[in-house]
Amino acid sequence: MIIKGMTAQLTRTITTDETAERVRSGSLPVLATPVLSAAMEEAACKVLAPHLAEGETTVGGSISLIHKAPTLPGHTITVTATVTDVKGKKISFHITAADENGDIGEADHERFLVDSAKFMEKAEKRNGENR
């Protein structure tokens, strides 16, 4: 059962491949916002993973991210996701991120519970219709 207040955390060291310069989201060698966003979604998935039924997964629906401070490669980020609301298949999160020097970002994120096979059927059908 997924309930409000559930939380998970992940920690990782930033590499040069995760910089804005490398992922082409900017020109500087600092943590790229798309990489921070992906880490935030990963933390949200980590909260939910132990509570999913067989064949069930979640998909991201939205993320509203504020990237507050730069992080250089070699530094470690810690991302914490907390469930703030559960309404049917929609799960809402507040996610924070920090490095050794303090707060680097926060986001509000929504994920949706889906049946993996049915979701992929829809994706394949949609892809086949647009060829």
**HEC sequence for the chain:** CCCCCCEEEEEEECCHHHEHHHHCCCCCCCECHHHHHHHHHHHHHHHHHHHCCCCEEEEEEEEEEEECCCCCCCCEEEEEEEEEEEECCEEEEEEEEEECCEEEEEEEEEEEEEEHHHHHHHHHHHHHHCC
**What confidence score (pLDDT) does residue 130 get?**
64
Domains (range + CATH), the chain: 7-129 (3.10.129.10)
pTM recorded for the entire structure:
0.95
**Banded pLDDT at 122 (limits 50, 70, 90):** very high
| pLDDT tens profile 63-87 | 999 999 999 999 999 999 999 999 9
- 129 pLDDT higher than 80: no
**What confidence score (pLDDT) does residue 43 get?**
98
Average pLDDT over residues 19-37: 98
Minimal CA–CA distance to 39: which of 21, 61, 12, 72?
Answer: 12
- What does pLDDT average to over the chain? 97
Average pLDDT over residues 55-69: 98
Share of the chain above pLDDT 70, in %: 98
